[in-house]
Amino acid sequence: MKKQELSSQKLALYIRLMFFIFGGAIFIGHNYIPIYIREFEFISDFMVGAIMSLGFLITTVAQIAFGKIADRSKTKNRVFKFLLIGYAAGMLFLAIPRHNSWLTLLPAVFLFYIFFSPTVMLMDTIVVENVEYTGMSFGKLKCFGPAGACSIAFVTFILGLTVGMTTRLAFLMAIVCASLALLPSRMLPPTKGHARGTSKAGGKAAFKEILRNRRLMLLSAFMFVLFIGISATNVYWGVYYVSEDGINAGLGLLGMSMMIGIGFETAIMLYGNRHVQTLGIHSVFTLMGISAFSRSLIVFLAPNIYVIQLSAICGAFTFALLWSRIPPYINEIVPKEMRATGQAVWSIMAFGIGPMLGSILGGAVVGNVGMRNLFGLMSAMILATTVVFFFLFKRQRNLNLPDTLPLYDDD
């Protein structure tokens, strides 16, 4: 379907539906995998971090591959539909088989991670490239993703109070969400791979140009370090919430906590988007770090299950800023022929390599000083990261350097 055949209202509706439906699948994939892994008696706390680290390594490689494929493809849409099907298939292999050893569990986890981050990355890329035709800001469209996640969190809370909530049931819900997201995705206009048939079709030349981009590289470095700390806590947040080593609240109340956090994230993106857009991009980066620091510190200090809910609000603020401003910012600072690749680069740092190292770090810390102390140590690390990069971003802004480094050919 061509852009001119769609009214701005219809295009915005299809995008919001896609975000809303797939938001539920993202919620399950992001929060329930570590809990599911820890349910097996043959998996220790340290192994949770190690397995998640390998999963993030796989999703990093997959993002590079699918970013290049999308930029070269006739349309990015067909690649995105393939990723949606793969996401559902990965969840299916987690939900259906009964895994009795890590020999079957690991391949199922790794299959899912092939499609985990690339699906989110490419969905954002397609929407950013079509956002001007909707008459809406990216943040007001993207907020329907957290709204969908909040709805699924509410369902898990209700199921926890009634029939009982399990990780396998959550995975089945994610399969349904990923499959249903195919319907609105089919209604989006074709979004071509701008590098198709050009000399910038990826490979060494494309990555050389991406790596010369000063703003993208500093942003990627910040995301890399910040998400080491965030991911070290994210991997163990659900485990801490439901296990006897933590506050032992159960899956139902975990759904309630997630519902609170994601509800605030949706509200910030929907009603606070105008104020967020007025913030300078470097202020956004700093506020992200401060809210991530506050989240970890609250978990560390919280004396009971009620106070710990405040951490969900801080997490909501972090990700509302992230999703409202970062993808459009990337689109502004990279050539159009490499938009999917540019989105993949920062996404790899924030949701690939950073989480990979954060998972290993989290497992090592938990194994030595316990789960609660992990949140205290990571809050200190996140605060230090925020302070250091505040001055690096300030220096970059004050120097007013060109966006790209000079090119020195090795040939």
> pLDDT tens string for the chain (411 positions)?
555 556 888 899 999 999 999 999 998 988 889 888 888 888 888 888 888 888 888 988 888 888 888 888 888 999 999 999 999 999 999 888 888 888 888 899 899 999 988 898 899 888 988 888 888 888 788 889 888 988 998 888 888 878 778 888 999 999 999 999 999 998 888 887 655 555 444 455 566 777 778 888 899 999 999 999 999 998 888 888 877 777 777 777 777 888 888 888 888 887 877 787 788 888 899 999 999 999 999 989 987 777 888 888 898 889 889 888 888 888 888 877 777 677 778 878 888 788 889 988 998 998 888 888 999 999 999 999 999 999 999 888 887 654 444 433 333
Model pLDDT, residue 341: 73
Q: Which of 231, 199, 317, 337 is nearest to 267 (CA)?
A: 317
Model pLDDT, residue 207: 65
Rounded to the nearest 10 degrees, the angle between the axes of helix 8-38 and helix 214-242 is 50
The answer to whether 152 and 120 have CB atoms below 8 angstroms apart is no
pTM, whole model, 2 decimals?
Answer: 0.73
**CB crowding 356-387: b at 16 or more within 10 Å, else e:** bbbbbbbbebbeeeebbebbebbbebbbebbe
Where do the domains of the chain lie, and which CATH numbers do they carry? 7-190+207-399 (1.20.1250.20)
> Which phi and psi (to 5°) does residue 249 adopt?
-90, -20
